[in-house]
A = this chain, B = another copy of it.
């Protein structure tokens, strides 16, 4: 199947316009057909040995969101102590999640036991199944952006807390808690770049030829 130049440009536009959204969520409901489309895109990610190790827990309940927000606050307070004084003060001022504001949460997991003990392609690098779930997350992110939905990855939550709140079985690994919703606007640049937390690296310095 051929991808035309216009189609290619649409893919690049979506990749460059994707943001990690925390501050701009609107409460508007996400239609079920839109939700199904973005989850279908996630399900068509590559996976090691065609293992498809992912599950998707869709969170709409305010009660469940509140519990997740508390788990974030605990992890966030603990994290703030790890930075030196100056960075810590900056860190505490950043808005790093939109758990309550986003109409939808999605927890993406990885079932490391799916489809048997020996997985084709996971024999040298055991983390390949976790990486497959991450590919699904990136597909979901770009599909969401293509639907003009913002998405944010909240990584400042202990996995044990997520597991308990969402009733995730012990052998299943939570990979991400994602906030999704329509937004007032998409920022032109990543928040952390705009706010001077870190600059964008120069791509030229990251490309090597034949050897590091």
Contacts and interface: CB of A to CB of B under 8 A. Distances in A.
Interface string A108-148: 00000001001011111101101100110111011101111
B120 A197 contact: yes
A200 B12 contact: no
A1 to B, nearest CB: 5
Contact of A57 (B159, B193, B212): B212
Nearest to A58: B209
B10 A3 contact: yes
A6 B91 CA distance: 40
Interface in A1-29: 1-3, 6-8, 10-18, 20
Contacts of A96: 120-121
Nearest to A14: B11
A85 interface: no
Describe A's contact surface by its main secondary structure: mixed
Number of copies: 2
A209 B169 contact: no
A65 to B, nearest CB: 10
B61 A210 contact: yes
A91 B120 contact: yes
Contact of A50 (B49, B124, B193): B193
Contact of A208 (B56, B61, B118): B56
A54 B50 CA distance: 25
A15 B41 contact: yes
Contacts of A118: 82-83, 87
B212 A168 contact: yes
10 contacts: A7-B146, A12-B37, A18-B44, A46-B138, A52-B200, A59-B210, A79-B124, A125-B159, A138-B139, A166-B210
What 7 pairs across the A-B complex have the smallest Cβ distances? A7-B10, A10-B10, A138-B138, A79-B123, A50-B192, A11-B146, A134-B134
